[in-house]
Amino acid sequence: MDFLIITGMSGAGKSQTMKILEDMGYYCMDNLPPNLLPQIAELFKESKRGMKKIAVVIDTRGGEFFHGLFKSLDELNNMGIGYKILFIDASDNVIIKRYKELRRVHPLKPEGRIIEGIDEERELLQELKEKAYFIIDTSNLNLGMLKEEIYRLFSEGGEKRKLTISLISFGFKNGVLSDADLLFDVRFLPNPFYIPELKEHSGREQEVKDYVFKWPQTNIFISKLIDMLEFLIPYYVKEGKTQLVVGIGCTGGFHRSVAITNKVSEILKDNGHRAISNHRDLKR
């Protein structure tokens, strides 16, 4: 039996994750009181209906029941029932933005500030996050990218535990990329912004790429960055990391960082890695 426990931050995407798993054939239950976990697991273990893929969502909406979760996990271990924890996370800024767009209040602070609820929830979930077998950060994932990641991890024959490298361009003037594992500053490179005929063109366009990559220091930097990532990736995989977020920043996130992010992503893909590129500030 494939018994998956989904938990994580409110607003991070647990409901969408559950729906994707349902489409993959999982029998899903939302907001299950943690004290019922052992009974549910035993029920499905003995079921004659052949339901072998079970996913349950457990989160802080369970209120006081949530505090019994670790006791229930111990019971599962004593019963010999294997399980894996999938933790869905997102940065504070992204969660706040999602709540404001939906005009919702945080379940832990219905009459307080959203950030207060987020802080309290992170503290409650920290120990559980440390026990997670999978962690997915949805800060820079749209629904299609989330679905791709879920299928990669949980579909039959999927590439479980293979590292996804998320390369994200950004502009320092709009704030540092808060959820990056690694950050690189490319503001030392000549800036196309000051070339009148390139100013309005992004780093996706050929004329800007030609300008950025004509400088020797650009290609030396990319070569050294690839070498560093190739050195680090096996160690991240060994530690069980499933997603590596690499931020590449320039001044505005429109020219240099975009071109370099796409180039690094292409090289990593050619080297056999699973790399995706995204551009935080390109549409500002």
pLDDT at 155 > cutoff 60: yes
Q: Say yes or no: 180 and 111 in one domain.
A: no
The pTM score is 0.62
Q: Say yes or no: 101 and 16 in one domain.
A: yes
Q: Say yes or no: 140 and 11 in one domain.
A: yes
Q: DSSP secondary structure string, 70-133?
A: HHHHHHHHHTT---EEEEEE--HHHHHHHHHHHT--BTTBTTS-HHHHHHHHHHHHHHHHHT-S
- Domain termination site, one of 135, 154, 173: 154
**Strand, helix or coil at 274?**
strand
Query: Is there a domain that residue 284 lies in?
Result: no
**Strand, helix or coil at 28?**
strand
Q: Say yes or no: 174 and 214 in one domain.
A: yes
Residue 261 token pair: 């992010």
Q: Say yes or no: 142 and 13 in one domain.
A: yes
Beta bridge partners of 28: 55
User: Could you tell me the residue range of the domain that residue 220 belongs to?
Assistant: 164-279
Q: Say yes or no: 140 and 13 in one domain.
A: yes
For the chain, what is the domain count? Answer: 2
Known binding residue 17? Answer is: no
Known binding residue 10? Answer is: yes
Known binding residue 59? Answer is: yes
> Which of these, 9, 41, 236, 184, lies nearest to 107 by C-alpha position?
9
**Strand, helix or coil at 246?**
strand
Query: Is there a domain that residue 159 lies in?
Result: no
pLDDT tens-digit readout, 164-175: 899 999 999 999
Known binding residue 61? Answer is: yes
pLDDT at 251 > cutoff 50: yes
What is the Cα–Cα distance from 210 to 207, expressed in whole angstroms? 5
Q: Say yes or no: 106 and 201 in one domain.
A: no
Query: Is there a domain that residue 74 lies in?
Result: yes
Q: Say yes or no: 247 and 117 in one domain.
A: no
Mean pLDDT estimate for the chain: 89
pLDDT at 243 > cutoff 90: no
Q: Say yes or no: 58 and 127 in one domain.
A: yes
- Domain termination site, one of 85, 120, 154: 154
**Strand, helix or coil at 34?**
helix
pLDDT at 159 > cutoff 50: no
Known binding residue 8? Answer is: yes
> Which of these, 132, 124, 151, 113, lies nearest to 62 by C-alpha position?
124
Q: Say yes or no: 9 and 137 in one domain.
A: yes
Known binding residue 15? Answer is: yes
> Which of these, 124, 127, 121, lies nearest to 105 by C-alpha position?
121
Q: Say yes or no: 126 and 27 in one domain.
A: yes
CA distances from 232 to 31, 203, 254, 278 (A): 38, 27, 28, 21
Known binding residue 12? Answer is: yes
Q: Classify residue 282 by its DSSP letter.
A: T
**Strand, helix or coil at 148?**
helix
- Domain termination site, one of 105, 126, 154: 154
pLDDT tens-digit readout, 11-47: 999 999 999 999 888 999 998 888 889 998 888 877 7
Known binding residue 265? Answer is: no
CATH number, domain at 143? Answer: 3.40.50.300
pLDDT tens-digit readout, 160-202: 456 889 999 999 999 998 889 999 999 999 999 999 999 999 9
pLDDT tens-digit readout, 94-137: 999 998 888 888 888 887 888 999 999 999 899 889 889 899 99
Q: Say yes or no: 176 and 142 in one domain.
A: no
